[in-house]
Chain A
Amino acid sequence: MRNLPVALAMLAPSLVILVTFVLYPLGKAIWLGHQRCDVEGANCESNGWDQYWDAFRSDQFQNALLVTAKFALITVPLGLVLGIGLAVLADKWLRGIGVFRAVFSSTVATSVAVASLMWLFLLQPDVGALSNVGWLGDLFPVIKNPGLLRDPGTALTSIALSSVWANLGFTFILVTAALQGVPRDLLEAAAIDGAGGPRRFWSVTLPMLGPTLLFVVIVLTTRAFQAYGEVDLLTSGGPRPQDSTTTITYLTYGQESIIRNNAGLQATVAVLLFAVLLVLSLLQLRGIGRRVHYGN
Chain B
Amino acid sequence: MAIDKLHFESPRGWRLAGRYLLLAGVAFVVLFPVYTTVIASLKPGNRVLRNPLLPDAFTLDVFQDAWTEGHLGRYLVNSFVVAAVVTIAQVATSVLSAYAFAMLDFPGRGVLFVVFLATLLVPLEATLVVNRRTVDSLGWLNSYQGLAVPFLATAFGTFLLRQVFLGLPTDLRDAAAIDGVGHVGFLRHVGVPLVRPTLGALALFSFLSSWNQYLWPNLITTEDDMNTVQSGLRLLRYSALRTPNLLMAGTVIAAIPIFVVLLLFQRQLVRGLTAGAVKG
**Which residues of A are in contact with B by a Cβ distance under 8 Å?**
1, 3-4, 6-8, 10-11, 13-26, 28-29, 32, 86, 89-94, 97, 100, 103-104, 106-115, 117-122, 124, 127-130, 132-133, 165, 168, 170, 173-174, 177, 184, 187-188, 191-192, 194, 196-197, 200-201, 215, 219, 222, 226, 228-229, 232-233, 249, 252-253, 263, 266-267, 270-271, 273-274, 277-278, 281-282, 284-285, 287-288, 291-292
Contacts and interface: CB of A to CB of B under 8 A. Distances in A.
Contact of A109 (B101, B234, B242, B258): B258
A285 B121 contact: yes
Contacts of A287: 276
Nearest to B240: A127
A7 B53 contact: no
Interface in B131-163: 131, 133-134, 149-153, 155, 158, 163
A89 B23 contact: yes
A28 B214 contact: no
B262 to A, nearest CB: 5
B277 to A, nearest CB: 10
Nearest to A215: B276
Given A270-B127, A274-B125, 17 more contacts: A11-B100, A13-B152, A14-B116, A25-B130, A26-B130, A92-B19, A104-B30, A111-B229, A121-B36, A128-B52, A165-B33, A187-B6, A194-B2, A197-B7, A219-B278, A229-B214, A263-B129
Contact of A112 (B6, B7, B155, B212): B212
A277 B126 contact: yes
A170 B273 contact: yes
B96 to A, nearest CB: 4
A80 to B, nearest CB: 15
Interface residues of B, number: 98
B121 A282 contact: yes
A202 to B, nearest CB: 13
Given A14-B97, A14-B153, A129-B53, A110 B255 contact: yes
A287 to B, nearest CB: 7
A165 B37 CA distance: 15
A108 B212 CA distance: 11
A104 B27 contact: yes
B59 interface: no
Which of A23, A109, A124, A222 has the most C-beta atoms of chain B within 10 angstroms of its own C-beta?
Answer: A109
Contact of A15 (B115, B219, B237): B115
Given A13-B153, A127-B242, A174-B274, A114 B254 contact: yes
Interface in B92-140: 92-94, 96-97, 99-101, 104-109, 112, 115-116, 118-131, 133-134
Secondary structure of the B contact surface, majority rule? helix
Contacts of A229: 214-215, 230
A271 to B, nearest CB: 7
B213 to A, nearest CB: 9
B27 to A, nearest CB: 5
A133 B123 contact: no
B123 A121 contact: no
- Top 3 closest pairs, chain A to chain B, by CB: A25-B130, A129-B52, A274-B126
Nearest to B152: A17
B244 A100 contact: no
A278 B148 CA distance: 25
Interface in B245-280: 247-248, 250-251, 254-255, 258-259, 262, 269-270, 273-276, 278
A21 B127 contact: yes
Contacts of A15: 97, 112, 115, 153
B8 A177 contact: no
A173 B230 CA distance: 24
A196 B112 CA distance: 53
Given A10-B100, A11-B97, A121-B248, A23 B153 contact: no
19 contacts: A1-B106, A22-B119, A23-B119, A25-B128, A25-B130, A94-B20, A109-B259, A111-B211, A117-B233, A119-B33, A132-B49, A165-B30, A168-B30, A187-B6, A197-B7, A200-B7, A215-B276, A267-B130, A277-B123
A285 B120 contact: yes
A100 B112 contact: no
Given A26-B127, A229-B214, A108 B262 contact: yes
